[in-house]
A and B are shown apart, each in its own frame.
Chain A
Amino acid sequence: MRDIDHQDRGGLLGPLKNLSFFARQPITEPLGPRPASANYRGFHLNDWDLCIGCSTCQKVCDNAAITMVKVPGLAEDPAKGIRNLRPAIDYGRCCWCALCVDLCPTGSIALSREYVHTCLDSELDSYFILPDARGIHGTPYPKGWAKSTDADLVALERQPMTEQAAAVRIENFAEIVAGYDANQALIEASRCVQCGMCHDACPTHMHAPEYIRAIWKGDLEGAVREIYRTNPFAHTCGRVCTHRCETACSVGHRGAPIAIRWLKRYAMDAVDHARVKQIAAEGRADFISGKRVAIVGAGPAGLTAAFDLVRQGHDVTVLEAQAQGGGMVRYGIPDYRMPADRLDRDLDIITSLGVKIRYNTRVGVDLTMERLQAEYDAVVLGVGLWMGRSTRVPGADQAGVKRAVDLLRAVAAGEPIEVPQSAVIIGGGNVAMDITRTLARLQQQRYGEVRITLTALEDLDHFLADADEIREAREEGVQILDARGPQEILMREGQVAGLRTWGVRSIFDPAGRFAPSYDPADEQIHPGDLVVEAIGQAADVNLLGEALTEALQWHRGRLQVDSQGRTNLEWLWAAGDMVRGPDVVSAVADGHRVADSIHAYLSVQEHAP
């Protein structure tokens, strides 16, 4: 291949051949703007409706070209994982690598098909922009480099959780989920973009980004340390938390949110219990304040407050009506979701710090509130929602009609209950699911088959229960009938025989408020030896006594407390479900809140002359 003879000394003729170019028409490109290629990485576009202000773009930016700017007037909703921050770009730093696009969890950022920006010296600020969907010059150039499956760098898929199959788990009360192994936890933790939406959404503002990162780094003790900064019910919340963090997770906008709850569970299980105890005790006050605090109810709210107060050097006594601690976590949540031995670990850590719990002590019966007021410097009420609501339809007062909370408590306490051959459950929340699935297991053990019908007012789209609970209950053989309104308990020979319901045409008005519309023509009979009502719960405040009830301020049926959880009485605080409604992690948050308030109150007392 010698297409050019370089031995030749060259000639004059060759260059002259190119004079022929003079005869060619010149080509003139038009000056007008034209869009660049379809994948061009031009200037930033940001769809503000999609953008959630998670700052992931800022984190991956090579050159610190992105600043998150607060834009007043934009939506800000920690529960949904939306901040009113939007990225601003400094084109003096940007290198147009588009990693911000590829790692954007929502896909709001794109680069335009626009080539040029230039300006006079006086307009140098124009290189610093807060991009919206219209682009740097307000002229809508089409999107160039945008989110694509080719280039997406967000890890959208969650590590699968191993679970007992329905046919197996229906036979037992063992925990359904197996938990992550070390490798799964590491991969799952590595998906996190560290945006902190979870922290903002969490009622107790757990340091989830920090412990996820610690898990990823293999520093499990560090993870436990981060967890204990805000949550002494760590085993519990690793299993049954309502995980608002995951609802807010920015990765969840296009994919599956990080399994934050399972990661917490993993970290707690992976570290030796004795070591967890040591970590939880770190930072405990090395003095005794001499102040005494009584807490009524050894549930998550009360014990969290106790945990904090003991760490601050106060003397805390918890009064618990039941034989064991944990409140609704123990007596409301079945073992297959929340194994009692894990709750025991949480309690062991709390009591190891010096919290005293007096079991089988019912305030209002065994001792009065007045006595607590007299003997302690501060009192916290955390009695939960233990009174099951009844539909009060005709027949609801029969012996064969039970409240879900009562049955669940009896099962958890190991008391014998009569297992019905067939049962009807009224209610569509998680408590309804808990009693349904508990009875299903008992039926399976006793009779070898599950015969349970669950009816709820709400249609499936509006069920209060988690979607997983509904799916799993169905897998276990439970018949779930949505949009059915209970009318009457049917009796046969003095025994409960079933439930009569009407179909619900619609249940909410356009404003989302309850406005049921029934269809009497759509009547059904659901046979069952037992009807369980699981429609709602209320706090039993009889322990207060009449005088105290009068002295306290109430707000729409609940104790009125200030933002710190304090009632209108100086010595009395209230926390947990009875104030906030049912939720473990909110109760934990509440416990911290009242502990802070009490500590501040007691400290002021301390310094008073």
Chain B
Amino acid sequence: MIEGHQGSYDRIKSKTSLKEILEVACSFESSARDFYRDLAPKVSKNIRWLAEELAAEEQCHYDLLRGLADHPDSVEQVAVEVQTPANNTRFSDAIHLPDLGPRPDDQAVLQYAMGREHIAMEHYQSLADGTAPGPIRDLFVYLANEETKHKAELEKLYYETVHSGGV
């Protein structure tokens, strides 16, 4: 889900099979990965690690969803995961999506990344809410869950980077 564009929301909403949905979700992850990969050389070297790490992270997400897409029988696994929803709590000084200018600093990149995950999470959640109970709804819930976990990881990184010097 890229930057919460209504277009992507509609695009996935129109899909009806698990595999189709997963394919689209995969494409979101890969485009996010590509975005960070492109970002890396543009930022100062001292914060390049951040863009590289985020790209690697998105690659992991992609690999996970790719695996699900290639093995639709693993939907049972999805149902199990749905039973244990990740806790979404909003870390608000981070979710205001900044405009990533030409030379963003580490904080801006992190805020941007958290914003992405947050919006993706909300959209999957609303897709789940708008879907009748069944495998597809479970899948949306699962995806929303995954995005929540990703965001939680980023929040930890954010705190350690931005708040660490406050002694």
Contacts and interface: CB of A to CB of B under 8 A. Distances in A.
Direct contact of A and B (CB under 8 A): yes
Interface of A: 385, 389-394, 427-432, 457, 464, 485-487, 502, 505, 509, 513-518, 520, 534-538, 541, 546, 549-550, 552, 554-559, 577, 581-583
A516 B89 contact: yes
Interface string B26-60: 00000000000000000011111110000000000
A516 B155 contact: yes
Contacts of A514: 155-156, 158-160, 163
B167 interface: yes
A538 B111 contact: no
A555 B161 CA distance: 12
Contacts of B44: 546, 549
Contacts of B47: 557
Contact of A556 (B49, B111, B165): B49
Interface of B: 44-50, 87, 89-93, 96, 98, 106-108, 111, 152, 155-156, 158-167
A392 B93 contact: yes
Nearest to A552: B45
A536 B156 contact: no
B154 to A, nearest CB: 10
A432 B152 CA distance: 26
A431 B167 contact: yes
Indicate the member of A487, A538, A582 with the most B CB atoms within 10 Å: A538
| Chain A CB within 10 Å, residue with most, of B96, B111, B162, B166 | B166
A577 B93 CA distance: 26
Nearest to B111: A392
Contact of B165 (A394, A536, A555): A536
A390 B165 CA distance: 12
Contacts of B161: 556-557
Contacts of A581: 164-165, 167
B76 to A, nearest CB: 28
19 contacts: A429-B166, A464-B166, A485-B91, A485-B93, A486-B92, A502-B92, A505-B89, A513-B160, A515-B156, A534-B166, A535-B162, A536-B164, A537-B165, A549-B45, A555-B49, A557-B106, A577-B165, A581-B165, A583-B167
Contacts of B107: 389-390, 392
A395 to B, nearest CB: 11
Given A431-B167, A464-B167, A583-B167, A389 B45 contact: no
Given A516-B155, A554-B49, A432 B166 contact: yes
A393 B49 contact: no
A427 B163 CA distance: 9
A389 B90 CA distance: 20
The 3 closest A-B pairs by CB, nearest first: A514-B159, A429-B166, A537-B165
Contact of B155 (A389, A394, A428, A515): A515
A391 B93 contact: yes
A518 B95 CA distance: 13
Nearest to B158: A514
Contacts of A429: 166-167
Contact of B163 (A393, A535, A552, A557): A535
B156 A427 contact: no
Given A517-B89, A518-B90, A557-B49, A389 B162 contact: yes
B92 A428 contact: no
Contacts of B163: 389, 457, 514, 535-536
Nearest to B105: A538
B166 A557 contact: no
Contacts of B90: 518, 520
A427 B47 CA distance: 24
Given A536-B165, A554-B48, A582-B165, A392 B156 contact: no
A536 B46 CA distance: 18
Contact of B45 (A390, A518, A554): A554
A581 B160 CA distance: 12
Contacts of A393: 92-93, 96
Contacts of B155: 514-516
